[in-house]
Structure 1
Amino acid sequence: MFWLYLPLSFFLWAFTGNKEVPDQSQQKLRALILDGQNNHYIWPKTSQMMKSYLEETGLFEVNIVRSSQIDLGIKYNPNRPYRLDQYLWEYPLKSESSQRQVDRVITDPNYAPDFDQHDLVVLNFGIDAAPWPKTTQKEFEDYMNNGGGLVVIHAANNSFGNWDEYNKMIGLGAWGGRDQDSGPYVYLDQDGKETRDKGAGICGSHGPEHEFLVTTRDKDHPIMQGLPEVWMHAKDELYDRMRGPAENMTILATAYSDLEQNDPPWDQNTRGSERNEPMLMVTRYGQGRVFHSALGHFDYSQECVGFITTFQRGSEWAATGGVTQAVPKDFPRKNRTSSRPWNPNAELAQLQKERRDSNPYQQWLTLVNSTPSDSIQVYSDAAIAVNDKWNTQSGKDDIRKAWQQFSARIDSSWTMNYVLANNRGRHAYEIGGFRTNYGQLFGQFVIWELNSNPKRRLFEFTVPAEIIEIDKTELDQRRKEWMQYCNAHRVDQLVNELYTKDALYYNHRPLIKGREAILREYSYMNNPSYQLELNPLIVQPLREDLVIEIGQCAGGYNGKYILIWERNKDGLWQIALDSNI
């Protein structure tokens, strides 16, 4: 294990591990934060927050290592109308050249963080994190067995459900394929007695985010010494019904899962458990130490001084076996929570400035909202733009000029859907929108070219929009008709009945317009062996008469497809734009 300097006050605490007490000539502890694959899309920011929290103690120097495959996460906070990749852009690392965004992460055979050069590993992963290679798993198991330190934060206990040794390290987990066979459901009863329920049941649930009381259960543990017996935590998810081996595990603090307050409205079969659920735990794995915090769902959750303090003290304990940090004066109390607004340090602020200067989205906003310099490159040379009148502009210069004549300013924008066009990682599809200073709402569909630096717009469709839901039954029927005509090799009927007169077709080559041109393009469908199935992934209405569909093809073509459906004056849905790249 790698040791660095600790202050003299560290000697006040006895070691419980195998490491020798360092002398004053040694330097700071080295911490490694691992991230890149988390269903909580805020993860690029929370990694930076935790990095700064550790550095603020004066005990740690911290490095963030990001996986080569990036999982952006799930956008589930409607009060944050940001692009799905907003935080990835806003909270960059110094080096990100080897990373790419993917729809589904898979095991990277080259993933091999250097555990042995660090005293502490902090996991900021989530439920969909890809399994590590077997060799990397074994290296991490050896690292922990030999006295390493591990901190598990919130959704990291969702990760790696099929990795037995990881489940032993974290004690309890949730979701990730876990069930009653993963271990007992552990909680504290009304008298504070630990209960292990080995019966059948789910593994993991929570209700809407809310403030809740955290109760200290082991006041003598170094992490908890001096903390209030009960304190109010900021808005967070309260995990309940966690299961696992729970070997060599000590519960440090719990929170009560109220029947109604922690009732998940999205699951009619589950309510709050009405039990004291573990929130803070420690486990021993070999000679290693693990601090496990189920807290920390979002940035405001991690701004809570209760989270910050227990994270800092838990990290020191996991790395050394002792705690030297005092309890801060602004620690929460029973009747009030306490938070510290977090701001990036100077190093991160400089990285953010450099990133903003080259961010394609920021450049696009500059293009629309002001008069930019010619050096701003938002669009690829052969870019195409289409508006709601189905008028088109070709080439980056014409598109730039058109936007500079846009009379309104963009006040806010957001991404609703963002998916890769294919597994090659060269293009991505985005459905989003923006609101102007006049209150106008616009929807956008963009095809991004990812193999340029920065990424550029290859195709965009912009239209006045409204927030609306529609009955998709008729669309399902029209899609079924499309497949029937295609697979019966009746291309004439397919195009003449299902496409608008001036429909557009886009596939890298010059834009194709009109039924006759599309008929020629689709002549290969007349091949008797050609079959195709359309499987919709996203069906997003922009208004009552306009819907964007992103789907996956199967058969003669196995890539994704784009269809923009337009309802004609007779109420019939037809395809106004068709694309696949």
Structure 2
Amino acid sequence: MSIFKSIVTASVVSLACSGTVFAAGKHLTVLIVTGQNNHDWVRSTPIIERLLEETDRFDVSVSTSPSKDSPDDAWNDWAPQFKNYDVVLSDYNGKMWPDPVKRDFVSYVSGGGHVVLVHAANNAFGGWSEFEEMTGLLWRGPDGGDRLYLDEKEQLVRQPKGEGPGGGHGAGHPYAITTRDDQNPIFKDLPKVWMHVSDELYHAQRGPAKDVHILATAFSSKESGGTGVHEPMVWWIPYGKGKVITLVPGHLGTNDKYPTTYDCTGFRTVLQRSVEWVATDKVTIPRPKNFPDADKTSVVPEAVK
């Protein structure tokens, strides 16, 4: 079986790979881990919290790490209780977590936990092998592992470690997101192609790239400073009995004004649905009537932020 075929067809997996399946009406518990990021986590974390709670599908808690320069005592006292949650969503990109927190996180995922990584959260923790394996593709240099992309014929290419560019992005701009697995419930009833608002388009993500199931891509144009190929935008990986889904759209800078990524109806919907799907293998959150199409973006009114 080809790499691309195995990636796409394997997106419907046995329930054993996703841990407990919850009843459709049950609120899922979500822990957002935050506190450090090279983006404006002070703004993005509350937005994500509101986005999830507005669906009436999730009960959300937030665990904020100590600051980078906090004393050891503060870090020793920080102990997120991952095991108590159906989903852990990371809005974190900063100092390496203490060893006990790392062990608890790996135990959580391998034991059947569910993780969502948003934007720069996949940049984190260089050298933490378990995190890199469960994430698959990360912001790393050319020597940080293999790269996956779709060529001009939309065929999957695996570029070996050390060849080609490392992780980066061109200038922020609106771009089209294309579904690559229309059987996955997150994307099943969405347009094949839809326009996302101005955002960073990550390219040449690197890593172990094992068992990567690509759900959506975007064309990284050379005119915008990109690579000229279709880059993965949303993917997931089974890890032990759990699974991890990564959404690389989601930039929010300190000076970004409305409309931002988090005002995009398409991104908001995919984020909400990803959190539900990663825990249940199902999606009950409906597609909004104003979902974007291939020709134009769609944003919520500024007052909704």
Alignment TM-score, normalising by the size of structure 1: 0.47
Q: Which residue does the alignment assign to 1:149?
A: 114
Q: Which residue does the alignment assign to 1:120?
A: 87
Distance of 1:278 and 1:23 partners within structure 2:
31
Output the amino acid matched with 1:115.
F
Output the amino acid matched with 1:61.
D
Contact 2:264 2:299 in 1 (8 A): yes
Distance of 1:36 and 1:344 partners within structure 2:
24
Answering whether residue 302 of structure 2 is matched by residue 337 of structure 1, we say no
Q: Cα gap change, 1:44/1:217 in structure 2, threshold over 3 Å: closer, same or farther? A: same
Q: Trace 1:511-530 onto structure 2 (pairs within 5 A).
A: none
Q: Which residue does the alignment assign to 1:353?
A: none
Q: Which residue does the alignment assign to 1:180?
A: 142
- Deviation, 1:344, is 7.5
Q: Which residue does the alignment assign to 2:42?
A: 44
- Deviation, 1:124, is 0.6
- Deviation, 1:222, is 1.5
Q: Trace 1:250-269 onto structure 2 (pairs within 5 A).
A: 250-261=213-224, 263=225
SS of match in other structure, 2:207: coil
Q: Which residue does the alignment assign to 1:365?
A: none
Answering whether residue 219 of structure 2 is matched by residue 221 of structure 1, we say no
Distance of 1:115 and 1:342 partners within structure 2:
34
Answering whether residue 154 of structure 2 is matched by residue 192 of structure 1, we say yes
Distance of 2:187 and 2:52 partners within structure 1:
17
User: Which string of whole-angstrom CA distances, capped at 9 and with x for unpartnered residues, describes residues 430-474 of structure 1?
Assistant: xxxxxxxxxxxxxxxxxxxxxxxxxxxxxxxxxxxxxxxxxxxxx
SS of match in other structure, 1:109: helix
SS of match in other structure, 1:260: helix
User: Which string of whole-angstrom CA distances, capped at 9 and with x for unpartnered residues, describes residues 164-221 of structure 1?
Assistant: 11111111111xxx33343211111122221110143442111121101111111111
Q: Cα gap change, 1:22/1:123 in structure 2, threshold over 3 Å: closer, same or farther? A: closer
Answering whether residue 144 of structure 2 is matched by residue 204 of structure 1, we say no
Answering whether residue 239 of structure 2 is matched by residue 285 of structure 1, we say yes
SS of match in other structure, 2:215: strand
Distance of 1:104 and 1:209 partners within structure 2:
37
Q: Cα gap change, 1:211/1:17 in structure 2, threshold over 3 Å: closer, same or farther? A: same
Q: Trace 1:477-496 onto structure 2 (pairs within 5 A).
A: none
Output the amino acid matched with 1:120.
V
Higher relative contact order (CA closer than 8 Å, sequence separation 6+): 2
Q: Which residue does the alignment assign to 2:203?
A: 240
SS of match in other structure, 1:186: strand
Output the amino acid matched with 1:30.
T
Contact 1:187 1:278 in 2 (8 A): yes
Output the amino acid matched with 1:319.
A
Q: Which residue does the alignment assign to 2:97?
A: 132
Contact 1:280 1:293 in 2 (8 A): yes
Contact 1:179 1:203 in 2 (8 A): yes
Q: Which residue does the alignment assign to 1:163?
A: 128
Q: Trace 1:547-562 onto structure 2 (pairs within 5 A).
A: none
Q: Which residue does the alignment assign to 1:458?
A: none
Distance of 1:287 and 1:339 partners within structure 2:
36
Q: Which residue does the alignment assign to 1:478?
A: none
Q: Which residue does the alignment assign to 2:8?
A: none
Distance of 2:207 and 2:131 partners within structure 1:
10
Contact 1:107 1:133 in 2 (8 A): no
- Deviation, 1:107, is 9.6
Distance of 1:22 and 1:290 partners within structure 2:
17
Q: Trace 1:325-474 onto structure 2 (pairs within 5 A).
A: 325-341=285-301
CA RMSD after TM alignment: 2.5
- Deviation, 1:237, is 0.4
Q: Which residue does the alignment assign to 2:3?
A: none
Q: Which residue does the alignment assign to 1:31?
A: 30
- Deviation, 1:23, is 5.3
Q: Which residue does the alignment assign to 2:11?
A: none
Q: Which residue does the alignment assign to 2:267?
A: 307
Contact 1:284 1:290 in 2 (8 A): yes
Alignment TM-score, normalising by the size of structure 2: 0.87
Any gaps of 5 or more consecutive residues in structure 1? 1-13, 71-101, 264-271, 346-581
Contact 1:107 1:130 in 2 (8 A): no
Q: 1:323 aligns with which of 276, 280, 283?
A: 283
Distance of 1:69 and 1:115 partners within structure 2:
20
Output the amino acid matched with 1:290.
V
Q: Which residue does the alignment assign to 2:10?
A: none
Q: Cα gap change, 1:157/1:107 in structure 2, threshold over 3 Å: closer, same or farther? A: farther
- Deviation, 1:19, is 3.9
Distance of 2:30 and 2:46 partners within structure 1:
13
Output the amino acid matched with 1:193.
Q
Q: Cα gap change, 1:115/1:259 in structure 2, threshold over 3 Å: closer, same or farther? A: same
Distance of 2:91 and 2:23 partners within structure 1:
31
User: Which string of whole-angstrom CA distances, capped at 9 and with x for unpartnered residues, describes residues 290-347 of structure 1?
Assistant: 11100010261111011101101111111222212221111110100001146589xx
Number of residue pairs matched by the alignment: 286
Larger-gyration structure (1/2)? 1
Contact 1:106 1:131 in 2 (8 A): no
Contact 1:107 1:132 in 2 (8 A): no
Distance of 1:288 and 1:158 partners within structure 2:
21
SS of match in other structure, 2:77: coil
User: Which string of whole-angstrom CA distances, capped at 9 and with x for unpartnered residues, describes residues 215-260 of structure 1?
Assistant: 1111111111111111100010011111111212111111111112
Output the amino acid matched with 1:116.
K
Q: Which residue does the alignment assign to 1:69?
A: 67
Q: Cα gap change, 1:197/1:314 in structure 2, threshold over 3 Å: closer, same or farther? A: same
Output the amino acid matched with 1:225.
K
SS of match in other structure, 2:67: strand
User: Which string of whole-angstrom CA distances, capped at 9 and with x for unpartnered residues, describes residues 507-527 of structure 1?
Assistant: xxxxxxxxxxxxxxxxxxxxx
SS of match in other structure, 2:292: coil
